């Protein structure tokens, strides 16, 4: 995905869109090296990187700082960043300043949760030149209104409401829509009724694409294993084993070895850090 124009193209060609969350430079370099289509700098950063128990503590400054780091690590990826909790619910000036800060940090689009009561601001942001990704279903910024992180749109009335909200998101000018934790059947209906693509998380296989949280798909978050998460690798055990091995080798004296230590005869003036960034070409470390 190079730009927002690639999203409708993918849907018209029936090509699935892959999206992963990412919050830091090192992880972004890893994602940059993959075929994954696009990155979401989600406000889940408040949970995954800052240890909060919801996304509510995420701020505009936090989103901008993480977006800037991700952009440096993933220069070729399409990046969408969340507008954090309440950032678009105050004055229009405040909303536009939040959007400006985040876009200036390297995002190509913003994600906005919900639509009821924010149709006008949603449209205003789109008409100001900022592509917007919608987000319906279990919108985590409304966790307290939902009484917890619960599957949404399970009754016929709630499903009809979701469909109407999705049509409003499309009418407001969104280029795509995230559907989170809703039954497969309603996600499929929404996807068929909209011309823009849907990107599901816990919304079944009938969406136009899928998004997962980086830490979840890499198995780094052992405590969190809801039904919709597939862990593609047990990253926690893998890194834990490596860290324990480091500890053990430090204590047994097998790390560092001679070839991992400096010798004045061969290492005088050796560089220990690349001067240019690795993605800009230099691999040399010594
Ligand atoms: O913030 C986030 O990670 C998200 C995804 C779960 C879609 O909004």
Q: Does domain 6-217 have CATH number 3.20.20.60?
A: yes
The pLDDT tens digits of the residues spanning 188-243 come to 999 999 999 999 999 999 999 999 999 999 999 998 889 999 999 999 999 999 99
Does the C-beta of 32 come closer than 6 Å to ligand 1? no
The pLDDT tens digits of the residues spanning 20-52 come to 999 999 999 999 999 999 999 999 999 999 999
Closest ligand 1 atom, CA of 111?
A: 8
The pLDDT tens digits of the residues spanning 166-186 come to 999 999 999 999 999 999 999
Start-end of CATH 3.20.20.60 domains in the chain: 6-217
What tokens were used for 53? 């128990």
For residue 143, the SS3 value is helix
What tokens were used for 68? 């800037």
Residues 37 and 211: their CA atoms lie apart, in Å, by 10
With contact defined as beta carbons under 8 Å apart, do 140 and 113 qualify?
A: yes
Give the list of residues 6+ apart from residue 33 with CB closer than 8 angstroms, or none.
none
Does the C-beta of 43 come closer than 6 Å to ligand 1? yes
The residue ranges of DSSP E strands in the chain, in sequence order, are: 17-21, 38-41, 78-82, 109-113, 132-137, 176-180, 198-201, 209-212
For residue 78, the SS3 value is strand
The per-residue DSSP string of 152-172 comes to ---SHHHHHHHHHHHHHHHHT
State the pLDDT confidence band at 286, using cuts at 50, 70 and 90: very low
Task: Tell how far the Cα of 28 is from the centroid of ligand 1, in angstroms.
Answer: 16
Taking the model in full, what pTM does it have?
0.94
Residue 285 has pLDDT above 80, yes or no: no
For residue 29, the SS3 value is helix
Of the candidates 160, 180, 192, 283, the residue annotated as catalytic is 180
State the pLDDT confidence band at 279, using cuts at 50, 70 and 90: low
Query: What's the start-to-end Cα distance of the chain, in Å?
Result: 36
- Give catalytic status of residue 170 as yes or no: no
Does the C-beta of 39 come closer than 6 Å to ligand 1? no
Does the C-beta of 21 come closer than 6 Å to ligand 1? yes
Does the C-beta of 209 come closer than 6 Å to ligand 1? no
The pLDDT tens digits of the residues spanning 151-168 come to 999 999 999 999 999 999
Residue nearest to atom 2 of ligand 1 (CA): 42
Instruction: Identify the residue whose tokens are 């909303």.
Output: 95
Closest ligand 1 atom, CA of 42?
A: 1
Sign of CA dihedral 46, 51, 53, 57: negative
By CB neighbour count within 10 A (0-12 exposed, 13-18 middle, 19+ buried), where does 20 fall?
Answer: buried
């Amino acid at each position: 995905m190079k730009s927002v124009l690639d999203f409708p193209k993918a849907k018209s060609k029936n090509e699935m869109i892959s999206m992963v969350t990412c919050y830091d430079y090192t992880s972004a370099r890893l994602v940059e090296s993959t075929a994954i289509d696009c990155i979401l700098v989600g406000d889940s950063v408040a949970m995954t990187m800052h240890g909060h128990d919801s996304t509510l503590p995420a701020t505009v400054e936090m989103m901008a700082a993480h977006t800037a780091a991700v952009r440096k690590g993933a220069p070729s990826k399409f990046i969408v960043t969340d507008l954090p909790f309440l950032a678009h619910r105050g004055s229009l000036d405040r909303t536009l300043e939040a959007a400006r800060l985040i876009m200036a940090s390297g995002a190509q689009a913003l994600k906005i949760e919900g639509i009821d009561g924010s149709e006008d601001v949603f449209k205003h942001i789109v008409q100001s030149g900022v592509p917007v990704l919608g987000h319906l279903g279990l919108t985590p910024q409304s966790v307290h209104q939902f009484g917890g992180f619960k599957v949404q749109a399970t009754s016929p009335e709630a499903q009809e409401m979701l469909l109407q909200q999705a049509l409003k998101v499309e009418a407001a000018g969104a280029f795509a829509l995230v559907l989170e934790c809703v039954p497969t059947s309603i996600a499929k209906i929404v996807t068929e009724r909209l011309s823009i693509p849907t990107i599901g998380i816990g919304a079944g296989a009938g969406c136009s694409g899928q998004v997962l949280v980086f830490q979840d798909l890499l198995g780094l978050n052992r405590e969190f294993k809801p039904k919709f998460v597939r862990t593609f690798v047990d990253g926690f055990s893998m890194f834990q084993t490596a860290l324990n091995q480091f500890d053990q080798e430090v204590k047994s004296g097998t790390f560092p070895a001679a070839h991992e230590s400096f010798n004045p005869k061969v290492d005088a003036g050796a560089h220990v850090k690349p001067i240019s960034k690795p993605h800009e070409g230099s691999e040399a470390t010594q």
